[in-house]
A and B are shown apart, each in its own frame.
Chain A
Amino acid sequence: MKNNSGTTGSKKKKYVSEKKKDMRSAYLYIAPFFIVFAIIGLYPAIFSIFLAFQEWNGLGPMEYVGLRNFTIVLEDPLFWKSLYNTVIIGLMGTAPQLIVGIILAYFLNMAIIRFTNFFRVTIFMPYITSMVAVALVFGVFFSSNESALANYFIGLFGFDPISWKTSEWGAKIAISLMVFWRWVGYNTIIYLAGLQSIPKDVYEAATIDGASKVQQFFFITIPLLKPFIVLTVFMSTVGALQLFAEPTVFLGSSAFSRDEAMTVVMYLYRDAFNLGSFGTASATAVLLLIIIVGAAAINTWLTSGAGRKKKKGV
């Protein structure tokens, strides 16, 4: 370094080397993250895409098979069933959350309501339990037993007992409910943060102009909450497409042998670790990536598009 700065004065030399030192420090400090990322993030992702075009059982040699893995997966009715299950459970588990979350947050944000901290803490509490714990508790609640507590409750309303773990809609409803229960408080907290960021004088002005509380909710609260709604819809969509722990643990020993609640990630896992077919499992992983990116893009497009249309209408 000394050679490089050659003829310049000593003051300048010191400045240059200081700057270089800073640069060196900066690269050094971001290096751990990028080394970790290269080894356990980027390399496996690229390797997965490569594997999607190979036939491989994890032990023997790989064989290039072109698009055959994709054909096998796309022609497998179980893949489509698992995608259908994932979408249905995703919709039933997350869409009501967003609506209930906004309503709860709105109530919690009202100045006249007392004990809000108690309500906030209790409504948030399900989120701290692990997905496995939730699935096990709900698994007993929704056991296929005729005397399961869930069956007792629906019996009070005159319904016949349901075999929750082995029926098409029973399994989906039970899993959607546990997703709903665990995440609704999380979304409420995010919406509450959003509501608290809306300045109070907006409402005061609206009240003076004679807007009712309901009008204020739909014409002030919802539009100003939009960034937060976009965020939660995005996170819920991506999360729902990755559903694995809840159905796997809920169904227990029959998780990979029945199809009522098999999700895409379960399908992938079953291919790789139960059937030893790493190639088709990798093809599924690539398809899942495409689905997630596609869903996220549609999501962004819809939420921004819907907002624009509304503005034009008003």
Chain B
Amino acid sequence: MKKKNSVKKGTIPIYIVLGFASLASLFPFYWMFVMATRPSAAYNSIPPAMLPGTKLVENFQKVLDTIPFFQAMWNTILLCTGVTILVLLISSLAGFAFAKFDFPGKTFFFIAILLTMVIPPQLGLIPQYYMISQLGWLDTLMGAGVLFLLNPLGIFLMRQYISESVPDELMEAAKLDGCTNFRIYWSIVLPIIKPAFATLGIIVFTLVWGEFLWQFTVLRDPSSYTLQVALASLNTAFRVDFGMLLSGVFWATVPLIIIFLMFNRLFISSITDGAVK
């Protein structure tokens, strides 16, 4: 609002509402940072501490002493990356089949995918846990990741994108040149659908990054913790050190904020692409 003249008078209340919404959205981030830099005792000060203190490093040191923070960060990155790559492959292959091929049962299979979206993930929780434990996959990233491979939304997005952006003529031409179907997928379809990969990739990556119930259920050993499970474990001590707790949350959130600010348009469009179809 530097150029005051360009803001029309009647719109000031609207700016106040939007400004307040922005402030309310940002405040917890800022306050988390403030608390992460202060001793736990600062929590009791009246009026409350609103400016950063000097314990940034010390609090984080305490986090490192309590949970395997970097191990958990690494586990999370491995988990999210692995799942995302596999979901992109599974979804794009199936999306390609639904967009470009005719085969008996096509409608049946497509409706089946629709129905898989209706089953709430908690329904199968106990058998899934039992299967994973029978396989010996408890406390492993495989066990934590396998559930996320089921992503019907991905097929919808891919089918939509492939049927809109891969011309039939291109496929026919490639076939005349003797390309196999897989070659067409690999060398023609994949390069064209990169933007859809970015959208679906962001959806899957953030989904796995933030999911809690399943990871909390199968990851019990601290060395296998992902960030969410590790952070949650900080809060179960009898006396919680707030400075330490929020330091952990802060450093686990910073990478995500940086990525978000760099690619915010992509993040926001992934929401509308994913939901509004």
Binding site for B on A (CB under 8 A): 18, 21-23, 25-27, 29-30, 32-34, 36-37, 40-45, 47-48, 51, 58, 100, 103-104, 107-108, 110, 112-115, 118-134, 136-141, 143, 145, 147, 149, 152, 181, 185-186, 189-190, 193-194, 228, 231, 235, 238, 241-242, 244-245, 248-249, 252-253, 265, 268-269, 272-273, 278, 281-282, 285-286, 288-289, 292-293, 296
Query: Is there a chain A Cβ closer than 8 Å to B190's Cβ?
Result: no
Query: Is there a chain A Cβ closer than 8 Å to B245's Cβ?
Result: yes
Q: In the assembled complex, which residues on chain A have CB atoms less than 8 Å from the CB atom of B46?
A: 147, 152
Among B7, B26, B31, B245, which residue has its beta carbon within 8 angstroms of that of A122? B26
> Does B103 contact A132, Cβ atoms closer than 8 Å?
no
> Does B25 contact A122, Cβ atoms closer than 8 Å?
yes
Answer whether A48 and B124 are a contact pair too, CB < 8 Å, given A33-B155, A121-B264: yes
> Does A112 contact B126, Cβ atoms closer than 8 Å?
no
> Does B210 contact A23, Cβ atoms closer than 8 Å?
no
Query: Is there a chain A Cβ closer than 8 Å to B191's Cβ?
Result: no
Bound complex: CA of A147 vs CA of B42, how far in Å?
10
Instruction: Give me the 9 closest cross-chain CB pairs, A-B, nearest first.
Output: A44-B124, A130-B210, A245-B212, A44-B127, A47-B127, A26-B101, A29-B97, A25-B181, A252-B235
Residue of B nearest to A147 (CB): B44
Answer whether A48 and B17 are a contact pair too, CB < 8 Å, given A118-B22, A242-B121, A248-B232: no
Query: Is there a chain A Cβ closer than 8 Å to B173's Cβ?
Result: no
Residue of B nearest to A153 (CB): B48
Among B15, B28, B89, B94, which residue has its beta carbon within 8 angstroms of that of A126? B28
Among B48, B109, B131, B147, which residue has its beta carbon within 8 angstroms of that of A30? B109
Q: In the assembled complex, which residues on chain A have CB atoms less than 8 Å from the CB atom of B71?
A: none
Bound complex: CA of A101 vs CA of B201, how far in Å?
26
Residue of A nearest to B3 (CB): A114
Q: In the assembled complex, which residues on chain A have CB atoms less than 8 Å from the CB atom of B120?
A: 238, 241-242, 288-289, 292
A291 to chain B, nearest CB (A): 9
Residue of A nearest to B47 (CB): A152
Q: In the assembled complex, which residues on chain A have CB atoms less than 8 Å from the CB atom of B118?
A: 293, 296
A36 to chain B, nearest CB (A): 5
B104 to chain A, nearest CB (A): 7
Residue of A nearest to B14 (CB): A107
Residue of B nearest to A253 (CB): B236
Among A40, A58, A181, which residue has its beta carbon within 8 angstroms of that of B24? A181
Query: Is there a chain A Cβ closer than 8 Å to B149's Cβ?
Result: yes
Answer whether A140 and B35 are a contact pair too, CB < 8 Å, given A129-B253, A130-B209, A278-B126: yes
Bound complex: CA of A185 vs CA of B125, how far in Å?
30
Q: Which residues from 95 to 146 on chain B have a C-beta closer than 8 Å to any C-beta of chain A? A: 96-98, 101-104, 106, 109, 112-113, 116, 118-131, 146
Among B43, B147, B252, which residue has its beta carbon within 8 angstroms of that of A140? B43
**Which of B51-59, B62-70, B192-200, B269-277 has 4 or more CB atoms under 8 Å from chain A?**
B269-277
Residue of A nearest to B49 (CB): A149
Among A126, A133, A139, A190, which residue has its beta carbon within 8 angstroms of that of B275? A190
> Does A189 contact B272, Cβ atoms closer than 8 Å?
yes
Among B1, B126, B231, which residue has its beta carbon within 8 angstroms of that of A136? B231
Bound complex: CA of A211 vs CA of B184, how far in Å?
55
B112 to chain A, nearest CB (A): 8
Query: Is there a chain A Cβ closer than 8 Å to B29's Cβ?
Result: yes
Query: Is there a chain A Cβ closer than 8 Å to B260's Cβ?
Result: yes
Mask, B217-237, CB within 8 Å of A = 1, is: 100000000011001101111
Among B44, B113, B147, which residue has its beta carbon within 8 angstroms of that of A33? B113
> Does A149 contact B48, Cβ atoms closer than 8 Å?
yes
Bound complex: CA of A249 vs CA of B25, how far in Å?
21
Residue of B nearest to A232 (CB): B275
Among B8, B31, B97, B128, which residue has its beta carbon within 8 angstroms of that of A112? B8
Query: Is there a chain A Cβ closer than 8 Å to B174's Cβ?
Result: no
> Does B212 contact A249, Cβ atoms closer than 8 Å?
yes
> Does B124 contact A47, Cβ atoms closer than 8 Å?
yes
> Does A48 contact B210, Cβ atoms closer than 8 Å?
no
B152 to chain A, nearest CB (A): 8
Bound complex: CA of A126 vs CA of B32, how far in Å?
13
Bound complex: CA of A30 vs CA of B112, how far in Å?
12
Among A268, A293, A296, which residue has its beta carbon within 8 angstroms of that of B125? A268
Bound complex: CA of A143 vs CA of B18, how far in Å?
28
Query: Is there a chain A Cβ closer than 8 Å to B188's Cβ?
Result: no
Bound complex: CA of A107 vs CA of B21, how far in Å?
11
Bound complex: CA of A249 vs CA of B93, how far in Å?
38
Q: In the assembled complex, which residues on chain B have CB atoms less than 8 Å from the CB atom of A23?
A: 101-104
Bound complex: CA of A265 vs CA of B125, how far in Å?
10
> Does B125 contact A128, Cβ atoms closer than 8 Å?
no
Q: Which residues from 235 to 260 on chain B have a C-beta closer than 8 Å to any C-beta of chain A? A: 235-238, 240, 242, 245-246, 249, 252-253, 256-257, 260
